[in-house]
Copies of this chain bind each other. A is one copy, B any other.
Amino acid sequence: MTADSALDLDALRSRVARAVDDVRASAPLAPAITNAITMDFVANAQLAVGGSAAMVYLPEEAVALAQAGGAFYVNMGALLPTHRESIPAAARACRDLGRPWVLDPVGIGIGGLRGAVLDELAACGPAIVRANASEVIALAQAWGAADAVAGTGRVRGVDSADAVDDAARAAAALARRTDGAVAVSGEDDLVTDGRVAVRVAGGSPLMARVTGFGCSLGGVAAVYAAVADPLTAAVAASAHYAAAGTAAEARAAGPASFKVAFIDALFNLTAAEIAANPLTIEEVRS
Contacts and interface: CB of A to CB of B under 8 A. Distances in A.
B111 A61 contact: yes
**Copy count, this protein chain:** 3
B47 A111 contact: no
A144 interface: no
Interface string A242-273: 00000000001111110111111111100000
Q: Please tell me the size bucket of the interface on A.
A: 35 or more
B79 A81 contact: no
Nearest to A269: B254
A211 B53 contact: yes
A68 B268 contact: no
Contacts of A64: 110-111
A54 interface: yes
A159 B112 CA distance: 36
A168 interface: no
Interface of A: 29, 31, 35-41, 43-44, 47-48, 52-58, 60-61, 64-65, 68-69, 77-82, 107, 110-114, 156-159, 208-212, 252-257, 259-268
